[in-house]
Structure 1
Amino acid sequence: ATVVHKVNSAGAILLGKMNMDAWGHGGSTENTDYGPTKNPWDITRVPGGSGGGPAAAIAARMCSFAIGEDTGGSIRNPAGWCGITGLKVTYGRVSRYGSIAYASSFDTVGPTAKTAEDCALILQHIAGQDPYDATSSPLPMGDYLSHIKQGVKGKTIGIPKEFMSEGLDSEVRQLVLQAAKQFTDLGAKVEEVSLPTSKYAISVYYLLAPSETSSNLARYDGIRYGNGRDKFTPETMRRIMIGTYALSAGYYDAYYKKAQQARTLIIQDYEKVFSGCDMILSPVSPTPPTKLGELISDPVKNMLADIYTVTTNTAGIPALALPCGFTKTGLPVGMQLQGPMFSEELLLQTGYAYQQVTDHHVQKPQLS
């Protein structure tokens, strides 16, 4: 993979691969071939998914950073539930060459680390156009580290009212609003905004992403890449069947085409909001980390764990997840900053400013 070659060339020491939901299909790192990963803050709970292994390892101080993919929240959801920092980049900012495609128009490769500064350092080495990835952007990279200390004074941060309403855990809501107050103290202006079509995001994502995965995984048919069907988990088979159904001739217009039209409306909503504010603040997940077995046994609840993250992948914009506190029982809670296309520099400097006045990111789980 191009990204692995880049971190190798920069002198990183690669320790190995870590556990995840198979094919990126899941939000708890229980849908795996190696057994569930446990959250180091409470081993009766999940670390999030699909990239829960890297997040748990970073939280437990087993490694400094990890490279993962974010298709609908697979970097940010584990970052939020493990109390670390994760960056979902703009679509095309980092090469996807060498990674197995889940949903090709949603997939992004990015870093997970303890801090926004670490994420900036890693992004500086992995971003950029790649001749092996036609979807990688030719636009110039930012200078992510040099500008990271510029602060947020004078910036406008919007909080979507749709992301702070029904279904959001009260402690998560309180901690995100406390973070908003800290941004105000740092000199930013915080105001309420609206993303009315975000209510369609889960439906749009779980029609379009499975449609793309049903096409991408069709290559494992026993002719070209070997037959892997016996290795598909129930969750993966569920998504393949949903996608195949949505793409079938009798239902294409009713489902796939309509979902693509709704995707355009979501993108337009973001463009409208960003015409009046610099970035958006929201929760990463609607609840603190869930118990083992809770999400994998309930497909609908599993999907809804992504309700605040899939909008960014649908729109192709960047988002930075970082810890904003802990529940009364000591579970980490994450927030995310979302920005316009190619605004990684702004998000990282905002996250850095927040982490200079808080200590959530330096807290460690008690490991026995």
Structure 2
Amino acid sequence: MTDFSSLTLHEAAEGLRAKSFSAVELAEATVAAAEAAQGALNCFTSIDGERAVEMARASDARLAKGEGGALEGVPVAIKDLFAVKGVETTASSNILKGFKPEYESTVTQNLWDAGAVFFAKTSMDEFAMGSSNETAATGPVVNPWRAKGSEAKLTPGGSSGGSAAALAAGISYGATGTDTGGSIRQPAAFTGLVGVKPTYGRCSRWGVVAFASSLDHPGPFAKTVKDAALLTQVMAGHDPKDSTSYPGAVPDFAASAGRSVKGLRIGIPKEYRVDGMPGEIETLWRQGAKWLEEQGAEIVDISLPMTKYALPAYYIIAPAEASSNLARYDGIRYGARVEGADLIDTYEKTRAAGFGLEVQRRIMIGTYVLSAGYYDAYYLKALKVRRRIYEDFTAAFGQVDAILTPATPSAAFEIGSKAKADPIEMYLNDIFTVTANIAGIPAMSVPAGLDKSGLPLGLQVIAPALEEETMFAVAGAIERAAGFGAKAETWW
């Protein structure tokens, strides 16, 4: 009997084409695994077994005729930020409870067109605001990984923690996420997965609930670089419904994952060595550079001097855009409503009951920095810093083909361990990732080792805009050298 949980996306697709098992068998096993794990991991907002079997039957019919797309019959989990027609889409917030869109997001439609099977929506930090998946209205998601000799519940990272946990637990074969400041790459690093943030505009944002429109990047989670490259390829493409969508053709990313890195110049930015970073991460970073050097790449020391301003700029720009985007949730047209004495009272009561504390905090910050008297001092200045960060990367990519950094400043931490009284401690988890969002350039996390507690650590590869092929080539080289095959031991 096939051990479905151990299959990669490519292995699942090949097994279906070879008739080793049917799409219905795979879908039923996936749904059963999801239902069995939900009580312990809390990684799904909904599981739809009926729809999964229905889509799988259609896939089996196409496969029987020798037809089918690149993902035909393969179950994929969808972050609860993507609209799936007729399926409750809440962004893990009480304010959208009961909202079932009458439309399909472009990214999920691309997945269904390629034959992927929908089986569940995954939990996330509310409106994608968080780095630990603790702000979800449905409660925290639990990482399938545990530290050696400990039963402490760890965070899978955020905001796309549900997708990461579902994949790391061997339930799904791919999953969607969104990355506004690191929300794909950080959870991928915390769960031993590959996580990709493509170039801004490479994947359409249409039908994705907005957090910060100029920073939001849809992207995939996968078990391998090749799987991630294929998922990116399927999810990407021009979309006339998204004015920021890149109009060019989508390259063959999957082929680039096995490409040689010989002759490539890889930059090591000195600014990514931060105080308090564990020695294990520094050691792994050096090892990653050595692996690439051994495969023919040249390692070059570079400087990105504006890096230290990235986090402050991000936490002005993102809340400002969130303040604007979340103004639409007023309890009048859709979602939850708390009746008040008049219209203003209804607005206030609905938002107070519907939005969690972190979302309220960021809306207030955003409204403040956009207000008269503060717009120039904060928001306009942050936009100027954003431009300087982009210029930093442009200058660096004049010298190198890609950049290698750590993905996160630590391994997964215990749920509740970051002081809620000091949100800045949580915000610092994005220190290595936000720069790529600010510049709109592609970046990904690839698992490369374990820390002393047996928890996964990731390395980050950053590439110039629209150079995902180079990024996948470098990530593939790290994956081959690292030989990372560790998996979370089943306890759930």
Equivalent in 214, 221, 238 of residue 361 of structure 2: 238
CA contact (8 A) 1:245 1:251 kept: yes
Matched with 1:13 is 117
CA contact (8 A) 1:246 1:256 kept: yes
Matched with 1:96 is 205
Which region of structure 1 is more displaced relative to structure 2, 233-242 or 143-152? 143-152
1:51 aligns with 2:155: no
Deviation of the 1:54 alpha carbon: 0.8
Matched with 1:203 is 312
Separation of aligned partners in 2, 1:162 and 1:252: 29
Separation of aligned partners in 2, 1:255 and 1:63: 42
Equivalent in 162, 187, 212 of residue 296 of structure 2: 187
CA contact (8 A) 1:164 1:282 kept: no
Separation of aligned partners in 1, 2:163 and 2:285: 24
Q: Which has the greater radius of gyration?
A: 2
**Secondary structure in 2 matching 1:123:** helix
**Secondary structure in 2 matching 1:328:** coil
Equivalent in 266, 270, 274 of residue 393 of structure 2: 270
Separation of aligned partners in 2, 1:182 and 1:320: 17
CA contact (8 A) 1:94 1:109 kept: yes
5 Å-filtered alignment, 1:58-77, equals: 58-77=167-186
1:37 aligns with 2:141: yes
- Structure 2 alignment gaps of length 5 or more: 1-104, 147-151, 338-349
Amino acid corresponding to residue 301 of structure 1 in structure 2: E
TM-score under structure 1 normalisation?
Answer: 0.97
Equivalent in 221, 245, 250 of residue 330 of structure 2: 221
Separation of aligned partners in 1, 2:387 and 2:272: 19
1:304 aligns with 2:413: no
Separation of aligned partners in 1, 2:480 and 2:403: 20
CA contact (8 A) 1:30 1:296 kept: no
Deviation of the 1:356 alpha carbon: 2.0
Separation of aligned partners in 1, 2:482 and 2:375: 49
5 Å-filtered alignment, 1:1-368, equals: 1-42=105-146, 43-226=152-335, 227=337, 229=351, 230-295=353-418, 297=420, 298-360=422-484, 362-368=485-491
CA contact (8 A) 2:132 2:157 kept: yes
Amino acid corresponding to residue 158 of structure 2 in structure 1: G
Which region of structure 1 is more displaced relative to structure 2, 270-279 or 281-290? 281-290
**Secondary structure in 2 matching 1:15:** strand
Distance 1:308 1:242, change over 3 A: same
Seq. identity, %:
47
Which region of structure 1 is more displaced relative to structure 2, 159-168 or 311-320? 159-168
Amino acid corresponding to residue 118 of structure 2 in structure 1: L
Matched with 2:53 is none
Amino acid corresponding to residue 166 of structure 1 in structure 2: D
Amino acid corresponding to residue 86 of structure 1 in structure 2: G
The Cα offsets for residues 147-180 of structure 1, whole Å up to 9 and x where unpaired, read as: 3322111101111101023232211111121111
The Cα offsets for residues 8-58 of structure 1, whole Å up to 9 and x where unpaired, read as: 111111111111101000000011111111111115211110011111111
How many residues are treated as equivalent by the alignment?
Answer: 367
Separation of aligned partners in 2, 1:140 and 1:19: 32
Separation of aligned partners in 2, 1:224 and 1:35: 26
The Cα offsets for residues 208-228 of structure 1, whole Å up to 9 and x where unpaired, read as: 000000000000123333555
Separation of aligned partners in 2, 1:145 and 1:288: 28
Deviation of the 1:296 alpha carbon: 5.9
- Structure 1 alignment gaps of length 5 or more: none
CA contact (8 A) 1:44 1:291 kept: yes
Task: Give structure 1 regions of 4+ aligned residues with deviation exceeding 4 angstroms.
Answer: none
